[in-house]
Amino acid sequence: MRYALITGGSRGIGAAAARELARRGWGVAVNYLNSEDRANSLVDELSALGVPAMAVRADVADESQAGAMTARVLDTFGRIDALVCSAGISHVGLISQIGAEDWRRLFAVNVDGVHHCCRAVLPHMLERKAGSIVTLSSMWGQVGASCEAAYSATKGAVIAYTRALAKELGPSNIRVNCVAPGVIDTEMNAHLSPDDLAALAEETPLGRIGTAEETAKVIAFLAGEESSFLTGQVIAPNGGLVV
């Protein structure tokens, strides 16, 4: 059996990825920070599918918590075949209006969090000379978005980190790929009005916004052996909005 650790796994794309991997027979560790009830409910749902599942609390922005989380998962599962870095936060507003604390928190979660979790899991993967890491960016990390400069900067950093780490870890048979979704129907986009969503759907060549489940299928593909010759790639399920 293969095992995955999914950060930010209690909701949105992370939760959808947990369900998709569990349906494919993976054991799943669901990381959360504040959504304990959601995480436990999801673990019950995954366990009902007949796979091992656990919830583990950690703030990935804290290096020691990321390390303790990874150690606990390894103690329970014995191995981590895939790390999915889905934990993330957003910020919408003029760059002149974002405070230093909000700026640092964005980078602490979206960039430092990815780094902390990769660093924590790498000794295990390097020892086995096997593993897959999937990071979550955004199409705004590729092209930038007005009034989301800070968020776009963090997601651009994730793309650069992914590509560089893939080159570093390739000789050890560890693959690192990135998923950069477009507009997806999740709580992170709840600030968008129905008119905003309709306008984005109209702008998208496929004529609609995406679902967390569609993104989860891309994550599961990159996590598994079906993508065994893919590394350093940015896969963008965005309906053609950014090409």
Question: Annotated catalytic sites, by residue?
Answer: 151
Element holding 195 (H helix, E strand): helix 194-203
Centroid of chain to Cα 224: 15
The CA–CA distances, whole Å, from 205 to 13, 82, 198, 200, 209 equal 22, 32, 13, 10, 10
CB distance 205 to 236 below 8 Å: no
Q: Could you give the CA distance from residue 208 to residue 197 in angstroms, rounded to a whole number?
A: 9
Closest CA to 222 of 179, 184, 185, 164: 179
Q: Could you give the CA distance from residue 91 to residue 1 in angstroms, rounded to a whole number?
A: 38
Q: Could you give the CA distance from residue 67 to residue 120 in angstroms, rounded to a whole number?
A: 5
Query: 161-184 burial, b for 16+ CB within 10 Å, e for fewer?
Result: bbbebbeebeeeebbbbbbbbbbb
